[in-house]
Structure 1
Amino acid sequence: MSLRNAVMAALLDGAASGYDLAKSFDASVANFWMCTPQQLYRELDRMAADGLIEARTVEQERRPNKRLFSLTAQGLASLKDFTAEPHKPTAIRDELMVAVMAADAGDVEAVKASLQERKQWAEAKIARYERLRAKLLGGRTEDEFLAEADRVGPYLTLLRGLSFERDNVRWCARCLTVLERRGARLDAPT
């Protein structure tokens, strides 16, 4: 998947500035697609040059002018084509997984510290995603939202992000427990 598809999907909610898109990515899309603001701005320029989005300048008082981006008909058609393609699962590439795999031969305390850090990071993301979930629901039940909302895609991807981070917390906790028990066994007097 390319960044441009994620940008076009984000623009389905309406015109947005690069800054707004970066914030949106950080709040919602980041649970499945990461990019830096620099990558985002470069991609916006390429997409505009390719006719997938259009930019208009909005003049502001006491602030620099900003560019608002919106999908073109060509961009919407491209996004529709993307959704029609078969989508293969992605492979996990995670340095922490390699460190855990090698923990028996390495610095177990450093691996445990990394696991604890990842667990805390996942817990913080869960809290952020739960706040976003509450905002999306706007006081409605999930069933009401899913029946009434104009778009459910952002909510469904948010649910996946929540599930992913909750699983990260469980996995990190399990690894920490196992490594603690092994350490206690190995440190016990013989």
Structure 2
Amino acid sequence: MSLRHAVLAALLSGEYSGYQLTKAFDVGVANFWYARPQQLYLELSKLESDGLISGREVVQQTRPNKRLFMVTDAGLAELARFAASVSKPSFIRDDLLVKVQAVDHVDVAPVIAQLDQRAAAAAAKVEILDKILRRFRGDLDEETYLRHGSPIGPYLTCLRGRLFEQEHHDWSVRAAALLRDRATRNGDPPPVSGQSR
């Protein structure tokens, strides 16, 4: 998958300015594809040049003018082609896991501190994603929304992001607690606990 497909998918919700797109990526799309704002602005320019999105200028009185972008028919065709292509298996690439792998041979305290930080960050993301999911559902319970609600695609990707972050949180809390307990039993001073949920 390339960034272009993630941007096209994000623009399916309607017209976005570059700024709005960076916010959408920061909250929703970041669950499955991370991109810096500079990358997004560059990709918008490429997509428009390739005819996959169209932009229009919006004149604003008190602020600088802005461009709003939307997916074209060619962009929809590109997304259809992409959706029909075979997906590669996902994989984990996380430097904190390398540190945990080496924990028997390095100072455990900074690794535990990083696990505590990761747990706190994951807990904060879970809260944000829960709010987004509730906003999608409105008055519907989750099962009803999953069967009949719309849009379903963004909901499912947000749900996957929430499950990922919850699992990340739970594993980080457990790993930090186990390492902290082992350090205490081995006679080392217990590392200071960080904030976690």
TM-score range, shorter chain: over 0.9
Aligned residue number for residue 132 of structure 1: 132
SS state of the match for residue 109, structure 1? helix
Q: Report deviation, 1:108.
A: 0.4
Aligned residue number for residue 110 of structure 1: 110
Q: Report deviation, 1:148.
A: 3.8
SS state of the match for residue 57, structure 1? strand
More helix by share: 1
SS state of the match for residue 67, structure 1? strand
Deviates more, 1:79-88 or 1:144-153: 144-153
Q: Report deviation, 1:146.
A: 3.0
- Deviation track 1:68-124 (CA, whole Å, cap 9, x = no partner) reads 001111100000000001112222110000000011111200000000000000000
Instruction: State whether residues 123 and 169 of structure 2, in contact with CA within 8 Å, keep that contact through their aligned partners in structure 1.
Output: yes
Aligned residue number for residue 172 of structure 1: 172
Aligned residue number for residue 58 of structure 1: 58
Deviates more, 1:124-133 or 1:148-157: 148-157
Hey, which bits of structure 1, 4+ residues long, moved more than 6 A?
Answer: none
What is the percentage of aligned positions where both structures have the same residue? 47
Q: Report deviation, 1:57.
A: 0.5
What does 1:75-94 align with in structure 2 at a 5 Å threshold?
75-94=75-94
2:8 corresponds to 1:8: yes
Deviates more, 1:100-109 or 1:137-146: 137-146
CA-based RMSD of the aligned residues comes to: 1.2
- Measure the CA separation in 2 of the matches of 1:150 and 1:173: 35
- Measure the CA separation in 2 of the matches of 1:71 and 1:162: 27
Aligned residue number for residue 69 of structure 1: 69
- Measure the CA separation in 2 of the matches of 1:181 and 1:38: 43
SS state of the match for residue 68, structure 2? strand
Corresponding pairs, count: 188
Q: What amino acid is the match of 1:183? A: A
Aligned residue number for residue 187 of structure 1: 187
Aligned residue number for residue 19 of structure 1: 19
- Measure the CA separation in 2 of the matches of 1:15 and 1:147: 27
Instruction: Provide structure 2 residue ranges, at least 5 long, that are not aligned to the other structure.
Output: 189-197
SS state of the match for residue 13, structure 1? coil
Instruction: Provide structure 1 residue ranges, at least 5 long, that are not aligned to the other structure.
Output: none
SS state of the match for residue 68, structure 1? strand
So what's the TM-score if we normalise by structure 1? 0.95
Deviates more, 1:53-62 or 1:179-188: 179-188
- Measure the CA separation in 1 of the matches of 2:143 and 2:164: 22
So what's the TM-score if we normalise by structure 2? 0.92
SS state of the match for residue 104, structure 1? coil
Q: What amino acid is the match of 1:94? A: D
